[in-house]
């Protein structure tokens, strides 16, 4: 009787272990579980790409007094240290500019006495321009906003192809997952960071349109797509 009872208990324990193993295997290899992992990876990859490609932009609309002579001139606006400038005229066309070590921005005065000066850490400084500083101007409006930058997409693209594995570590993405992105600025120009995607791979993607700043400082729109597989 003792032996038969023991066999019965062993059978029950074995059955429980078997069911537990099947349940674990199903959860681990389940397509639904895999899809959830892929979805969470997409959400996280999107946030990382978004964070890596946007930055602060400060814009000042400036009316210059007509008494300021035509030619090169300088304006000293109090902005955070290290910011470079991009200057454009009233029609949105860029005007070559340069910021000196003290933060003053130099450019050629337009005929209509109006400029829009944009400041950001993302901008590169222009070639040296000399001119006289003037205080004869008024700031008609100012704006501070977070925008995406073409240069930051370009920098991310370079990191993607120069050290993909390190970029994945920086983004804290799972080792067995892969990602890429496409930033389309118009029909003929896009920044693409994609690896070969195996035909059998399941691919999820997310798309959104953002306002972005070109390398010359002009605002435009970019369609961003992030993919994971």
More confident residue, 6 or 168: 168
Check: CB of residue 190 under 8 Å from CB of residue 222.
no
Burial of 28 (0-12, 13-18, 19+ CB in 10 A): exposed
Separation CA 191–CA 137 (nearest Å): 39
The predicted pLDDT at position 28 comes to 46
Mean pLDDT of all residues belonging to the chain:
90
* Structural domain containing residue 81: 56-145
The yes-or-no verdict on residue 32 having pLDDT over 50 is no
pLDDT at 5 over 80: no
pLDDT tens by residue, 111-124 = 999 999 999 999 99
Confidence band, pLDDT 50/70/90 cuts, at residue 37: confident
Share of residues in the chain with pLDDT > 70 (%): 85
Distance CA 106, CA 5 (A): 95
What is the C-alpha to C-alpha distance for residues 116 and 88, in angstroms, rounded to an integer? 5
In a domain, 104, yes or no: yes
In a domain, residue 138? The reply is yes
pLDDT, residue 40, reads 94
Predicted pLDDT of residue 36? 82
Cα–Cα distance, 107 to 96 (Å, whole number): 6
Question: How many Cβ atoms are within 10 Å of 181's Cβ, its own excluded?
Answer: 25
Q: Rounded to an integer, what distance in angstroms lies between the CA atom of residue 118 and that of residue 20? A: 62
Look at residue 60 and tell me whether its pLDDT is greater than 70.
Answer: yes
Percent of the chain at pLDDT > 90 equals 81
What would the mean pLDDT of 115-143 be, rounded to a whole number? 97
HSE-CB for 2 with a 13 A CA cutoff = 0
Residue 139 included in any domain: yes
Is residue 119 assigned to a domain?
yes
Range 174-186 average pLDDT: 96
Report, as an integer, the average pLDDT of 125-152. 97
Residue 139: beta bridge partners?
Answer: 62
> For the chain, what is the domain count?
1
User: What would you measure as the largest C-alpha separation in the chain, in angstroms?
Assistant: 114
Whether the Cβ atoms of residue 75 and residue 144 lie closer than 8 Å to each other: no
Average pLDDT value for residue range 122-151: 97
Mean pLDDT of 89-105: 95
Mean pLDDT of 121-144: 96
In a domain, 173, yes or no: no
In-domain check, residue 191: no
- Is 94 part of any domain? yes
Between 82 and 72, residue with greater pLDDT: 72
Asked if residue 122 belongs to a domain, the reply is: yes
């Amino acid at each position: 009787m003792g032996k038969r009872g023991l066999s019965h208990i062993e059978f029950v324990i074995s059955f429980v272990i078997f069911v537990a193993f099947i349940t674990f295997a199903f959860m681990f290899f389940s397509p639904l579980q895999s899809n959830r992992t892929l979805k969470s990876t997409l959400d996280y990859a999107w946030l990382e790409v978004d964070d890596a490609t946007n930055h602060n932009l400060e814009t000042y609309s400036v009316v210059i007094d007509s008494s300021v002579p035509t030619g090169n001139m300088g304006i000293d606006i109090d902005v955070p240290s290290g910011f470079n400038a991009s200057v454009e005229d009233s029609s949105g066309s860029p005007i070559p500019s340069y910021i000196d070590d003290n933060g003053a921005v130099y450019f050629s005065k337009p005929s209509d006495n109006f400029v829009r000066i944009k400041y950001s850490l993302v901008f590169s400084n222009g070639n040296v321009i000399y001119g006289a500083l003037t205080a004869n101007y008024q700031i008609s409006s100012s704006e501070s906003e977070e925008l995406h930058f073409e240069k930051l997409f370009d920098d991310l693209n370079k990191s993607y192809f120069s050290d993909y594995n390190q970029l994945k570590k920086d983004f804290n993405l799972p080792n067995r997952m892969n990602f890429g992105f496409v930033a389309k600025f118009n029909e003929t120009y896009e920044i693409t960071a994609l690896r070969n995607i195996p035909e059998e791979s399941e691919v999820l993607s997310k798309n959104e349109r953002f306002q972005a700043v070109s390398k010359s400082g002009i605002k435009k729109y970019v369609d961003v797509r992030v993919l994971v597989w």
